[in-house]
């Protein structure tokens, strides 16, 4: 009877990143910044965070939003971070040699990051709509991110083409210079041979006169 009277749970979507090469404490510091925030706000916080683990957390957040859109048909602008946590993973144990034949351990920590997105309730969605929050902001964030990545890729391709063109121009200039030098050497050799033939002919005429 209690199960029948229980309120229906809100639709959720989750994503996890396993065996992340970072300690769980560092990941939790970034996750604490986005817990309870909307998806677009959490994306902005992670985009401007100076922590290196924030990029991994942002990818996990985007994966959770993609799962919500494609698997549960939930719009990203109506989602918020309902739960996020980092569990400790296996530790890679290494050793560093020290003085007097000693060795000190090196613990390379790993962690598993999990992010759960939940849809706002109807009353919260109506309140956000009245405030104007979440109206396509998440889609706009993704569009800006995709546009920035595409612009960076196009710029890198253009730079590669310019470098290839410069190298080809340098190679053609070197080939033209070598060809011109060869022509000059050939012309000088022909002129020298012609002068030698004239001198030899002049000497032959002198010997005949004598």
Report mean pLDDT in 10-residue bins for the chain, 210 residues. 53 93 96 94 94 95 94 90 96 95 95 95 82 60 72 85 78 76 75 67 60
| Predicted local distance difference test score (pLDDT) of residue 130 | 76
Q: What is the 3-state secondary structure (H, E, C) of the chain?
A: CHHHHCCCCCCEEEEEEEEECCCHHHHHHHHHHHCCCEHHHHHHHHHCCCCCHHHHHHHHHHHHHHHHHHHCCCCHHHEEEEEEEEEECCCEEEEEECHHHCEEEEEECCEEEEEEEEECCHHHHHHHHHHCCCCCHHHHHHHHHHHHHHHHHHHHHHHHHHHHHHHHHHHHHHHHHHHHHHHHHHHHHHHHHHHHHHHHHHHHHHHHHC
Per the structure, the count of domains in the chain is: 2
Instruction: Answer yes or no: is 192 within a domain.
Output: yes
Instruction: Answer yes or no: is 5 within a domain.
Output: no
| Predicted local distance difference test score (pLDDT) of residue 1 | 40
Residues 129 and 145 in one domain: no
Contacts of 100 (CB under 8 A, 6+ apart): none
pTM for this predicted structure: 0.60
Using the CB atoms, write b or e for 112-144: b if 16+ within 10 Å: bbbbbbbbbeeeeeeebeeeeebeebbeebbee
Instruction: Answer yes or no: is 65 within a domain.
Output: yes
Beta-bridge partner residues of 16: 114
Residues 16 and 97 in one domain: yes
Residues 118 and 77 in one domain: yes
Residues 96 and 191 in one domain: no
Residues 107 and 147 in one domain: no
The domain boundary, picked from 111, 135, 159, lies at 135
Residues 19 and 116 in one domain: yes
Residues 118 and 182 in one domain: no
| Predicted local distance difference test score (pLDDT) of residue 208 | 54
Residues 142 and 102 in one domain: no
Residues 96 and 27 in one domain: yes
Give the number of other CB atoms < 10 A from CB of residue 59. Answer: 14
Residues 127 and 158 in one domain: no
| Predicted local distance difference test score (pLDDT) of residue 66 | 93
Instruction: Answer yes or no: is 4 within a domain.
Output: no
Domain that holds residue 48: 10-135
- Tokens 């979507």 appear where? 13
Residues 128 and 77 in one domain: yes
| Predicted local distance difference test score (pLDDT) of residue 2 | 44
Instruction: Answer yes or no: is 2 within a domain.
Output: no
Pairs from 47-50 (Cβ < 8 Å, separation ≥ 24):
none
Residues 106 and 192 in one domain: no
């Amino acid at each position: 009877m209690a199960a029948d009277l229980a309120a229906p749970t809100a639709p959720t979507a989750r994503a996890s990143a396993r065996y992340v090469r970072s300690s769980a404490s560092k990941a939790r510091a970034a996750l604490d910044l986005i817990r309870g925030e909307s998806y677009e706000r959490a994306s902005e916080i992670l985009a401007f965070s100076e922590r290196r683990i924030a990029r991994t957390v942002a990818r996990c957040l985007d994966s959770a939003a993609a799962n919500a859109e494609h698997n549960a048909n939930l719009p990203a602008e109506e989602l918020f971070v309902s739960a996020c946590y980092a569990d400790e993973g296996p530790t890679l144990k290494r050793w560093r040699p020290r003085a007097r034949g000693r060795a000190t351990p090196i613990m390379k920590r790993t962690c598993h990051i999990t992010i759960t997105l939940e849809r706002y309730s109807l009353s919260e969605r109506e309140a956000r709509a009245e405030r104007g929050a979440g109206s396509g902001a998440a889609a706009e964030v993704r569009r800006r991110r995709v546009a920035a990545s595409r612009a960076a890729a196009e710029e890198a391709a253009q730079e590669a083409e310019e470098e290839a063109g410069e190298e080809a121009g340098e190679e053609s200039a070197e080939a033209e210079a070598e060809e011109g030098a060869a022509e000059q050497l050939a012309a000088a050799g022909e002129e020298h041979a012609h002068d030698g033939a004239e001198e030899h002919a002049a000497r032959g005429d002198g010997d005949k006169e004598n």
